[in-house]
């Protein structure tokens, strides 16, 4: 199966997520273009196989057991080009570090808040990623998607973006961003300021999947968890970060079941059924 495409079978899922947690997966396939992606999707449909679109794995928790779904990695959808003045097309597989470097080189301002986030553009847009009072939806013109084997462009006004969420159910192929011209020095300063702030306030040196929970009803999960004195609580090798209570970190050998147990523990102790921001795969 998928013999015509680049793939890895019986894949170690730990190598494909920033949490460094997970068992083995059935297969991960790397389409090089939309033509191959369509063929792979069709093959999945014909064989009654479910698939999961994987970006840079910065927001997912893989299971400890065998993951039977086909994983489609869009890492090769990595093209970036300037369409016209201050408008940039970015492929879904482009990492935010790479995008920010490109924008700096071309004196384009607007996405500095994303500097330091280990995500790819497709996943970041799908979940409406954001930080420091800004979010990616504020800078989008159009999103290029694959729907029912057809390429469609969704205008910004056609997409329902909300806090760390969107209603995009299609496969994101790329995004057009509307940005602003700015002096390179000022862009670089902003990028470094945001990166430094992340390193100062977040467990940047630990394996994690970012913020575990979404804010809800004006409640900031990290503050609530900290108020209940839960920083540093461990189950197995998973720990509620001592640096930022909104993160659960892997100290080296954590299992998915450890993280899930901590999530359950937090909800029990706080009495709040927080909604997960991380994607929990089963």
CATH code for the domain of 252: 3.90.78.10
The answer to whether residue 164 is catalytic is: yes
* Prediction pTM value: 0.94
70: Cβ–Cβ under 8 A, 6 or more apart, which residues? 2, 26, 27, 28, 29, 40, 44, 49, 50, 51, 52
39-70 pLDDT tens trace: 999 999 999 999 999 999 999 999 999 999 99
92 shares a domain with 169 = yes
For residue range 130-182, list pLDDT tens digits in order.
999 999 999 999 999 999 999 999 999 999 999 999 999 999 999 999 999 99
Specify the pLDDT at position 48: 96
> What does the pLDDT read at residue 1?
84
Predicted local confidence at residue 218, as pLDDT? 85
The enclosing domain of 146 has a CATH number of: 3.30.465.10
Q: Is residue 1 part of a domain?
A: no
**pLDDT tens, residue by residue, 239-266:** 999 999 999 999 999 999 999 999 999 9
CB 209, CB 19: distance < 8 Å? yes
Clarify whether residues 36 and 126 are in a common domain. no
For position 217, what pLDDT does the model report? 84
Of 73, 88, 107, which marks where a domain is finished?
73
Q: Is residue 90 part of a domain?
A: yes
Give the residue from 156, 186, 216 where a domain finishes: 186
Spot the catalytic one: 135, 211, 239, 241: 211
149 and 171, same domain (yes or no): yes
* Residues spanned by the domain of 33: 7-73
241 in active site: no
Residue 58 lies in a domain: yes
The answer to whether residues 111 and 173 belong to one domain is yes
> Are 20 and 52 part of one and the same domain?
yes
* pLDDT band at residue 4 using 50, 70 and 90 as cut-offs: very high
- Answer yes or no: 43 catalytic: no
Total domains in the fold of the chain? 3
Catalytic residue among 112, 135, 176, 277: 277
Residue 89 and residue 59 share a domain? no
Same domain, 89 and 17: no
pLDDT confidence band for 216 (50 / 70 / 90): confident
pLDDT over 90 at 280, yes or no: yes
Q: Which one of 36, 107, 156, 164 is the catalytic residue?
A: 164
């Amino acid at each position: 199966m998928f013999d015509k495409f680049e793939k890895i079978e019986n894949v170690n899922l730990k190598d494909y997520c920033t949490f460094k947690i997970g068992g083995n997966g059935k297969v991960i396939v790397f389409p090089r273009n939309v033509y191959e992606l369509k063929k792979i999707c069709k093959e999945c449909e014909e064989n009654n196989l479910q698939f999961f679109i994987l970006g840079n794995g910065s927001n997912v928790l893989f299971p400890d057991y065998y993951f039977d779904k086909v994983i489609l990695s869009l890492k090769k959808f990595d093209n970036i080009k300037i369409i016209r003045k201050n408008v940039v097309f970015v492929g879904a597989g482009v990492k935010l570090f790479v995008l920010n470097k490109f924008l700096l080189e071309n004196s384009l301002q607007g996405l500095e808040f994303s500097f330091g986030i280990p995500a790819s553009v497709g996943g970041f847009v799908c979940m409406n990623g954001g930080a420091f009072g800004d979010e990616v939806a504020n800078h989008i013109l159009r999103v290029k998607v694959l729907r029912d084997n057809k390429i469609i462009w969704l205008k910004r006004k056609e997409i329902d973006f909300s806090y760390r969420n969107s209603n995009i159910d299609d496969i994101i192929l790329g995004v057009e961003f509307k940005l602003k011209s700015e002096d390179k020095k000022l862009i670089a300063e902003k990028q470094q300021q945001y990166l430094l702030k992340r390193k100062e306030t977040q467990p940047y040196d630990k394996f994690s999947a970012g913020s575990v929970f979404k804010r809800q009803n004006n409640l900031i999960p990290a503050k609530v968890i900290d108020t209940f004195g839960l920083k540093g609580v461990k189950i197995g090798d998973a720990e509620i970060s001592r640096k930022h209570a909104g993160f659960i970190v892997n100290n080296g050998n954590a299992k998915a079941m450890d993280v899930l147990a901590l999530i359950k523990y937090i909800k029990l102790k706080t009495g709040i059924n927080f909604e997960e921001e991380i994607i929990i795969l089963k």
